[in-house]
Chain A
Amino acid sequence: MLKIENLHARVEGREILKGLSLSVNAGEVHAIMGPNGAGKSTLGNVLCGREGYEVTAGTVTYNGSDLLALEPEARAAAGVFLAFQYPVEIPGVNNTYFLRAAFNAQRKARGEKEFDSMQFLKLVREKLKVMQISDELLHRAVNEGFSGGEKKRNEIFQMAVLEPQLAILDETDSGLDIDALKQVAQGVNTLRSPERAFLLITHYQRLLDHVVPDFVHVLADGRIVESGDKSLALKLEEHGYAGIVEGAAA
């Protein structure tokens, strides 16, 4: 589904990704772990087409086509979703209105029929139930005045409604208490399916107690320096990044 080869990317003139390669197949859950400054968030932002992230070398192929050539909205319509590390507050835009606009824009881009408000409301109610999220979120402006946990839950809720093929969670677990963390994890587990892949970008191992990954990669200094199964995360927890990063460099 996703094939990243030798990706180099710069932010503000500084090279952050230095030859990153990664393959993700449908149905797989990959955890990308690494110390601060390794380039974890840059990877998520590059994949979603954020301005200011300049790709200087390498390729990203998504379902056989060049992902980097697409505008952010086209990537979304193609099924790529980023759960933001810091979701933006948008006063004056109602959460449901926003989500329906996004949902219908994606459908329109794919040549599918748009949902009217009744159809959409029905879908939203189902998702709320499955995700065990309170409908109070729907009536507020997008993320406005939300607590950290509410913002992250709202990201997961959007993911549930938009049903992406490739979901990238950028440190969605950071700053959450254990209940919120469990809720986010439960959301991800609910959405796991043979057609959908996840990229969980995280600093800590604790999310992986609740979402068991198929693969764990260690990202350091802009490259993946080690890959393994879920036991690698436990090893990291025990020894810290220092041992692994140094070991890989040697």
Chain B
Amino acid sequence: MSQPAPLPLVESLLDAPLPGSGIAWLDVARRENREAFAAGGLPDTRVEAWKYTALRALGQRSFAGGDADAQARVVDPSILALPGVEGPRLVFVNGVFRADLSMLDGLPAGLTLQPLSQALHGDAEPLRFALSRPALIEDARETGDAFTRINAASAGDGVVLRVAANTKIVAPVQLVFVGAAAESALAWHARNVIELGEGAELSLIEQHVASGEHTHLATLVSDTELREGARLHHTVLQNAAIGASMVRRSSVRLHARAQATLHVLELGGALVRHDLRAVLVGDNARLDTRGVFMPHGRQHIDTQLAIRHQALNTTSSSNWRGVANDRARGVFRGAIVVAPGADGSDASLGNKNLLLSPGAEIDTKPELEIYADEVKAAHGATVGQLDERSLFYLRSRGIPLAEARALLTAAFCRAVLDDLPNETLREHLSALLVAQLPA
């Protein structure tokens, strides 16, 4: 078999020094990952996890690696703000930390919040496991995970967030990733490491926003560790530029009695892929995920959820909605594994989808594997159109067809926001959903 020609995408992987260059183990990890990506390339659609998301066109595109001018990009501060959210804020522009846009003064006691680029200047040892973790190898074998390799080879910045044991952080922490228009298409990367100590509590809001139109590629890899009894509310608002490609990989580990609630809105981007891998490693851990993806135009938004119950009496519930319009495509895969020994676990997964136009497509696949006893599990997925009877009911009361469709679609999506505790934020996100709907 002949060696495939190197992908233009590979060129974007820098040899230039990144933050942390010179730390021996980090240099090794970056080099190994770069070589592994160059050799393995991108997965094709024969790989199960990429069956519905073709990467051929992406691989043929050229990107400039990183943004040397990131500090100078002008960003309208209003795109960073969220109603009902006031607290510490960490802002990255094209993957580079921007102190001038961030708010890090007077952090509450027990909260460590800093950019990775700075953390690597100090004692980098606590990050060693995350940044060179052997788990990469396992992932790569399973899914041909090229993007984790690209990220590990090229990310020089990102978020380092720690909450000390038994500390409740009241104000939500905001992480904002801005994709900013540049002279050419860029590839930028961010690596986030988040840890909540025993009994710690945190609200986290992650935003992906656009400053001008562009066609950048972004990869973001996040590890979140929740120690015994920790609680995390994590809200993700993905509103990237309509031409952008974005690949996010999040892994979450929940120890005993830890609880995480995740709300995700996927609105922007041309090609968007999010893999969430959660492992409930401690007894009585609980994970709730809610999300909505709304591709329109020619957008392609792919969400892959993999939840593994590995301990006694663990609970997960997932409720996802998809709405596709025009010629857009949505992909959802929700895989739950209840491992041997995870007796008494309760797992539910639902994905309901709406197609608003005949050219739109949503592929959904719930999967459930149970190897334990006394398990409660339910899963289901549907793809359909708006209910004609409901539409007629609204129209018979005088609501015009387009408005009736928007009203029903918004209601369909809003269901996943119902248990978002911050009411102002909930209203704002709900308004964003409505704004995404066809007029």
Contact = CB atoms under 8 A, between A and B. Distances in A.
Say whether A and B bind each other: yes
Interface of A: 48-51, 71-73, 75-77, 81-82, 84, 87-88, 90-93, 98-99, 101-103, 105-106, 109, 158, 162
Nearest to A142: B393
A88 B389 contact: yes
A93 to B, nearest CB: 5
27 contacts: A48-B396, A49-B396, A50-B396, A73-B399, A73-B400, A75-B396, A81-B396, A81-B397, A84-B393, A87-B393, A90-B390, A91-B411, A91-B415, A92-B410, A92-B411, A92-B415, A98-B397, A98-B407, A101-B399, A101-B403, A102-B394, A102-B397, A103-B398, A105-B397, A105-B400, A106-B397, A162-B397
A106 B399 CA distance: 7
A35 B293 CA distance: 49
B388 interface: yes
Contacts of A109: 398, 400
Given A77-B398, A102-B398, A90 B392 contact: no
B74 interface: no
A243 to B, nearest CB: 36
Given A90-B411, A92-B415, 9 more contacts: A73-B401, A87-B393, A88-B389, A90-B390, A93-B411, A98-B397, A99-B397, A102-B398, A109-B398
Nearest to B414: A92
Contact of A105 (B393, B399, B411): B399
B412 interface: yes
The listed residue with most A CB atoms (<10 A of its CB), out of B388, B396, B412, is B396
B408 interface: yes
Nearest to B410: A92
Contacts of B400: 71, 73, 105, 109
Contacts of B411: 90-93
A168 B387 CA distance: 23
Contacts of B414: 92
Across the A-B interface, the 6 shortest Cβ-Cβ residue pairs: A92-B411, A76-B398, A102-B397, A106-B398, A72-B395, A88-B393
Contacts of B397: 76, 81, 98-99, 102, 105-106, 158, 162
Contacts of A84: 393, 396
A76 B388 contact: no
Main secondary structure of the interface of B (DSSP, over half): helix
Nearest to B411: A92
A50 B392 contact: yes
Interface of B: 387-390, 392-401, 403-404, 407-408, 410-412, 414-415
B259 to A, nearest CB: 26
Contacts, number: 75
A48 B390 CA distance: 14
Contacts of B393: 84, 87-88, 90
Contacts of B396: 48-50, 72-73, 75-76, 81-82, 84
Contacts of A99: 397
A72 B392 contact: yes
Given A51-B392, A76-B395, A92-B412, A71 B401 contact: yes
Nearest to B393: A88
Contacts of A48: 396
Contacts of A76: 395-398
Interface of A, secondary structure class, is helix
A158 B388 CA distance: 20
Contact of A98 (B388, B389, B392, B394): B394
B392 A73 contact: no
Nearest to A109: B398
Nearest to A72: B395
A75 to B, nearest CB: 8
Nearest to A92: B411
A82 B393 CA distance: 9
A105 B398 contact: yes
A33 B216 CA distance: 68
Nearest to B418: A92
A174 B408 CA distance: 28
A88 B395 contact: no
Contacts of B388: 51
A98 B410 CA distance: 12
A73 B408 contact: no
A189 B404 CA distance: 31
A190 to B, nearest CB: 20
Contacts of A72: 392, 395-396
Contacts of A162: 397-398
B410 to A, nearest CB: 8
Contacts of B398: 73, 76-77, 102-103, 105-106, 109, 162
A51 B396 CA distance: 11
Contacts of B401: 71, 73
Task: Among A72, A93, A101, A109, find the residue whose CB has the most chain B CB atoms closer than 10 A.
Answer: A72
Contacts of B415: 91-92
Contacts of A49: 395-396
A87 B390 CA distance: 9
A90 B395 contact: no
A88 B387 CA distance: 10
Residue of B392, B401, B403, B415 most packed against chain A (CB within 10 A):
B392
A153 to B, nearest CB: 16
B395 A71 contact: yes
A156 B261 CA distance: 41
Nearest to A161: B397
B408 to A, nearest CB: 7
B90 to A, nearest CB: 34
Nearest to A90: B390
B399 A90 contact: no
Given A90-B411, A91-B411, A102 B392 contact: no
Nearest to B400: A73
B400 to A, nearest CB: 5
